[in-house]
Structure 1
Amino acid sequence: MPSSEIIHPQGQPPEFGDHHTCRTLFNLSRSALYTLAAEGKIRSVSLPLSGRKRGRRLFDCASIRRHLNSLAQAGQPLPPSF
C-alpha cells in the first residue's frame, strides 16, 4: 500500500506512525521528525525488531499535533526546513 493511502480504523487517526505516515499526515520530513524528537518537542519510540541492532522508529501523532497547534496558537510560522 502506498504511504499516501493511510487507512484509519473506525475513522480514527493513527496513534503512532513511521516517518512515511507522518510525512503523509503532517508533511514533515524524516529529518524534521528526528530533530523535533531529539529536542523533546514530540514523542517517539523505537520498536525493537528481533535479531536486529536497530528498531523501527515510530512517532506519536498526538504529540506532533500538539506541537503544531502550539506553534499556530503562538502565531509562529513553521521554519522553512519543514
Structure 2
Amino acid sequence: MSSIFVSFCFIKTVSGGDKYVSGTGLYCIGNDVDAFREITFKGFTGNAESLVTPLEKNSIALVIGRYVYEENTEYV
C-alpha cells in the first residue's frame, strides 16, 4: 500500500546525477523533540536546472511524494 507523503525533512545524505537525486532524511513524527524517523528518497529531474534550489546535505527540504513502507524501511 502507498500513500502521499508531505513533510519538511532534514537531509542526512544526498547523491545523484544529472537525472536523479537520492538519499536519506529525517522527519519529526510528533510534538516530541526527539521523535524522528528516517526515510529513503529518490527523485527524478529532467535536468540540473529544474530544481528550485540544489538539494544539499544538512539542509531542510520539503519532501512530497508517494510513501511506501516495506520491510521496516520507509521510501518516498
Quick check: TM above 0.5? Answer: no
TM-score by length of 1: 0.25
Higher Rg: 1
TM-score by length of 2: 0.26
